[in-house]
A and B are shown apart, each in its own frame.
Chain A
């Protein structure tokens, strides 16, 4: 039970600190801040548990590693969901616009005009530059090494499945 208790309690603590931090001041690079915060909370929390509640803390190095696996898996699952919270999904924006219009619905031309590059794509291009995935030099956007590695993994995976570009 120590692995289960340690992994889940420390994840809840990290999540609570993340909520408070985000409500006080949104970090500029949110995914990066999450990747710093969560491991730091695990390390500090594990040390604190050994002192404050030794019966609940992992008794051996293997148990601590198992608890780290559980904490890491919970963190990855949350970080995987995070893009849906950080950026507005076009599908969600469409559904909300139609919901707001009620039974009347939205005229075809007005619906199509509401979604253009300035809302659908330009903010995402800025995200790429902000997150260090691409840089802009002399008016041209290029992938950085980090961006090349990241998209390379996704491209390889999709090619292995026999799939082309998504989007």
Chain B
């Protein structure tokens, strides 16, 4: 029973290693890069999981099944953590809530939009697309420069159509 209970802890221990390494990497690295810190954290967690699985020493088909299940659990939790970080980095709802959090007496719609203007949302995202070479400004016109983001966007739109039955929330 103790062995079975310990098995449940393996992917959680790997996730703890992922979070600790990601946060430490981001704090200590000279060149701050969220993407690199997330990659380092995930790799560290994977290493811890592999070590713990080897130490647990399960064999046979059932052992393989449990190891694959643990890998799926760790990968999903790591992906959830990646989404959690992204939510804080780019989520508009989180930023709006942060502004409301700093105003205990509340804000009118106009005050909230003054603290987090649409122009800031637009320029942050356009800046990222330009810096990453996905979009370029040629003369007075913006154009797609690299299809990577376009392919990703089409994939997400495809998923949106499958799940929601529409390509946009405004449809």
User: Which residues on A are within 8 Å of B, measured CB to CB?
Assistant: 1-5, 7-8, 18-19, 22-23, 26, 60, 62-63, 65-67, 69-70, 73-74, 76-77, 79-81, 83-92, 94-96, 98-99, 101, 103-108, 111-112, 115-117, 119-125, 127-128, 133-134, 137, 139-143, 147-148, 150-152, 154-155, 157-158, 160-163, 165-167
CB distance from A162 to the nearest CB of B (A): 6
Name B107's closest neighbour in chain A (CB-CB): A141
Contact in complex: A2, B153 (CB < 8 Å):
no
Interface contact A103-B165, CB-CB below 8 Å: no
Measured between beta carbons, the chain A residues less than 8 angstroms from B163 are 18-19, 22, 85
Given A141-B108, A166-B90, the answer on whether A1 and B61 have CB atoms closer than 8 Å is: yes
Closest-CB distance, A17 to chain B (whole angstroms)? 13
Give 19 A-B contacts (CB < 8 Å), ordered by A residue: A1-B62, A4-B68, A69-B11, A70-B69, A79-B80, A86-B169, A95-B153, A96-B153, A108-B140, A115-B121, A116-B118, A124-B92, A140-B106, A141-B107, A151-B100, A165-B98, A167-B91, A167-B116, A167-B121
Contacts of B122 in A (CB 8 A): 90, 112, 115, 120
Q: Which residues of A contact B79 (CB under 8 A)?
A: 77, 80
- Taking the nearest CB of chain A, how far is it from the CB of B163, in angstroms? 5
A16 CA to B67 CA, complexed, in Å: 26
Is B84 an interface position by the 8 A CB rule? yes
Taking a contact as CB atoms closer than 8 A, the residue among A19, A67, A83, A166 that contacts B89 in the complex is A166
Whether, in the assembled complex, B96 has its beta carbon less than 8 Å from a beta carbon of chain A, the answer is yes
The reply on B50 being an interface residue by CB < 8 A is no
Range, interface on chain B: 35 or more
Assess whether B59 is interfacial by the CB under 8 Å rule. Answer: no
Q: How far is the CB of A53 from chain B (nearest CB, A)?
A: 16
Could you tell me the distance in whole angstroms from the C-beta of B4 to the nearest C-beta in chain A? 4
Determine if A157 and B88 form an interchain contact, defined as CB atoms under 8 angstroms apart.
yes
The answer to whether B125 and A80 touch across the interface, beta carbons within 8 angstroms, is: no
CB neighbours of A92 from chain B (8 A): 153, 156-157
Could you tell me the distance in whole angstroms from the C-beta of A94 to the nearest C-beta in chain B?
6
A26 to chain B, nearest CB (A): 7
